[in-house]
Amino acid sequence: MKAVLLDTDDQFHLAEIDPPVPGSGEVAIQVAYAGVQWGDVLVRDGHFPIPRPFVPGFEAAGRIVAVGAGVDPARVGEEVTALIGGGGYAEVVVAPAVLAVAVAGLDVRTAAAFGWVTPTAYDLINTVAAVRPGDSVLIHAAAGGVGSLAAQFAVAAGAARVAGVVGNPGQVDYARQFGYQEVFTREDFPDALGEQQFDVILDPIGGPTRLAALERLAPHGRLVAYGNIATFEPVHVSVNDLLMHGRSLLTYNSNLLSQTNPDRLADSARRAVQLVADGSVRIDITAEYPLADLGTAVANLADGVTRGKSIIRIG
């Protein structure tokens, strides 16, 4: 089969290799499209200690063509979107059966773009922060993959006010299409908020932004930390102060969840699929590349050239 190998020269090479065989609890998927995500930049740049060459690719969509021991053979033929630890940039990928989720109504391009960001955004809003009708929500990195989806899930959950923070003024109009009523620039945060407080704040930024955001939580408000885009510097918070104001600091890690409780992640993915399928949530696919151009796709993401989601055409 055709696959892309990431080699020691940090380049993606199109190659012909043997297709993988599903083991116990796994399915083999004939991949139609795969999604590009920031993790591809991290593996390209050597941030994960994976022996090379290997086939990268964390998310793929297509049809199940074989199942391993313990998996219902009736799943052969099912169209799925799969959350995987690698191997997605190939004509066939093996995935844990539990994380190969039926796409039920999604076209296969959208199913590939669904990836990890959609169940993550779903869980941040619905499972972790538990947004209720009437809540106010502030979303950092508002125009990013998670942010653009989280805003839509917040609206679908009945949030009364959804505000976002973006990096530069050029992102403001782009972000607004996802349901934000107000969009602030990072430079203006938190001063431009005035006295506003929020029931829920989503924070993948870290450092001083996290501390400033905690100060903006309304009584009984929840801040969810789910990344450290800007910095890994420790954030020291007084639990007594949080308790005094009835504020909560929560975290979310979808990769860990996929290992400890894959069934819970799959359940969220299925609920998210429904909201995408019924049009409540739109995934903005802005670029499509053939498998041979994966290197360009990843470079464009790394260089900030692309907005929205890029996908790779394989099948």
Ligand X SMILES: NC(=O)c1ccc[n+]([C@@H]2O[C@H](COP(=O)([O-])OP(=O)(O)OC[C@H]3O[C@@H](n4cnc5c(N)ncnc54)[C@H](OP(=O)(O)O)[C@@H]3O)[C@@H](O)[C@H]2O)c1
- Between CA 38 and CA 298 the distance in angstroms is 8
Q: Taking CB under 6 A as the rule, does residue 204 contact ligand X?
A: yes
By CB under 6 A, the count of residues binding ligand X is 23
144 counts as binding ligand X under rule CB under 6 A? yes
Q: Are 55 and 87 in contact (CB under 8 A)?
A: yes
Among 36, 106, 111, 141, binds ligand X (CB under 6 A): 141
Nearer to ligand X, 19 or 207 (CB): 207
Q: Do the Cβ atoms of 30 and 314 come closer than 8 Å?
A: no
Which residue in 25, 68, 167, 262 binds ligand X (CB under 6 A)? 167
43 contributes a contact to ligand X by CB under 6 A = no
- Which residue type occupies 110? T
Write out the binding residues for ligand X, residues 213-242 only, by CB under 6 A: 226-227, 229-230
141 burial type by CB count under 10 A (0-12 exposed, 13-18 middle, 19+ buried): buried
Are 148 and 178 contacting, i.e. CB atoms less than 8 angstroms apart?
yes
Question: Is residue 117 at the binding interface for ligand X, with CB under 6 A as the rule?
Answer: yes
In terms of CB distance, is 38 or 75 closer to ligand X? 38
Indicate which single residue of 29, 36, 55, 143 sits in contact with ligand X (rule: CB under 6 A): 143
Nearer to ligand X, 92 or 143 (CB): 143
Asked if 95 interacts with ligand X (CB under 6 A), we say no
Q: Please choose, out of 94-102, 189-197, 212-220, 248-256, the segment that lies near ligand X by the rule CB under 6 A.
A: 248-256
Q: Write the DSSP symbol of residue 8.
A: T
Distance of CA 78 to the CA centre of its chain: 23
Distance of CA 128 to the CA centre of its chain: 15
Residue 38 as a binder of ligand X (CB under 6 A): the answer is yes
Beta pairing class for 198-203 and 217-225: parallel
**Residue among 50, 51, 48, 6 nearest 294 (CA):** 6
Using rule CB under 6 A, residue 116 touches ligand X: yes
Of the two residues 67 and 129, which places its CB atom closer to ligand X in the complex?
129
How does strand 309-313 pair with strand 26-35?
antiparallel
Given the rule CB under 6 A, which of 47-55, 90-98, 249-257, 264-272 is the region that contacts ligand X? 249-257
Q: Which helix (DSSP H) or strand (DSSP E) does residue 150 occupy?
A: helix 145-156
Assess contact for 211 and 234: CB atoms under 8 A: no
CB of 240 to ligand X, least distance (A): 27
Interface contacts to ligand X, rule CB under 6 A = 38, 116-117, 120, 141, 143-147, 166-167, 171, 186, 204-205, 226-227, 229-230, 252-254
